[in-house]
Structure formats: structure tokens, C-alpha cells
Amino acid sequence: MNILTFLEFLNFISSGSASISTRIDKKEMKVTLFREEVKVDINDLSVIKRLIKSCKLVKKIGTGKKDIHFTSVLRQLEGIAKKLADNNQTIVLSYKGKEILKLGKNTRPGLTAFIAEHVEIVDKIKAIEILTNVFL
């Protein structure tokens, strides 16, 4: 299933929210759905790797090559983020309860705006650590 097809499901929520807790490879993940926002809280990096692969969010992951740059990852995420913004939707990714990344409409990109207009890195140090562990 394409992640954007899944997010179209949000249009059916007229008010309130829905929460889903699930386990992927015995690792818990919680997803809370609102009409214009999806909050994803992940407790293990292997779940992030699996989500990225299954949703085809980026073209390369876990290749072991050192030539994957932070800016190229941001550019790939920006494509998804722009579509989210066009649909008035936002994804908030948290790691162990702490917000790390926002994609879509309700973002304040700051310094990343020159590369990714709809991507906000909330915790830059943790985001770089996660991207390094996930993509390399």
C-alpha cells in the first residue's frame, strides 16, 4: 500500500482521533490518526527501517555505502512532504516519545527550507543519529 493512499483514509475522519498500537518484529509502534495529522511513535530503529522499505519512502536504505548524503535523503522526503502539504496533512515522527521529524503542512523547516520546504527536523542531533543508523 502506498503511504499517500493510506493518508487519503484520513479524509473519512470527521472529528476525534483513532489510535493503533501494533508490533513489528516484536517492536511496538503507536500510530494516532487525526483528520489532518498522523502521529507515529516508534521505539526501535529496526521498525523505522522496515517502514521506509515497505512504504518506499526513499530509494536507498541500508546499502552499506557511505555515499548517501543527508541532503539527498531530505530531497527524497520532500517529495512525500509536498504531497502531504498539498492535501493539508502532516506526519509527525517520534522516537521513544520525543518528536524528531515533521513532514507536510504544519512544518517550520528553518535551515532545511532551501532543500526541503515541507520537512521540519525537530531534534536535529537525534535525526542525524537515526538517519546514520538507518541509512548506512
Residues 52-67: tens digit of each pLDDT: 666 655 555 445 555 5
Return d(Cα 1, Cα 106) in angstroms, integer: 24
Strand order in the sheet with 90-95: 18-24, 27-33, 37-42, 90-95, 98-104, 119-121
66's CB contacts (< 8 A; 6+ apart) are 136
User: What would the grid cell of residue 2 be?
Assistant: 502506498
Q: For residue 92, name the pLDDT band (cuts at 50, 70, 90).
A: very high
Number of domains the chain is built from: 1
Query: 48-51 long-range CB contacts below 8 Å, 24 or more apart?
Result: 48/95, 48/130, 48/134, 49/134, 50/24, 50/25, 51/24
Task: List the domain range (segments joined by +) for residue 129.
Answer: 3-135
pLDDT at 61: 47
Handedness of CA 126, 101, 42, 135 (dihedral sign): negative
At position 41, the amino acid (one-letter code) is D
Average pLDDT over residues 19-38: 80
pTM (2 d.p.): 0.74
Mean pLDDT along residues 82-104: 89
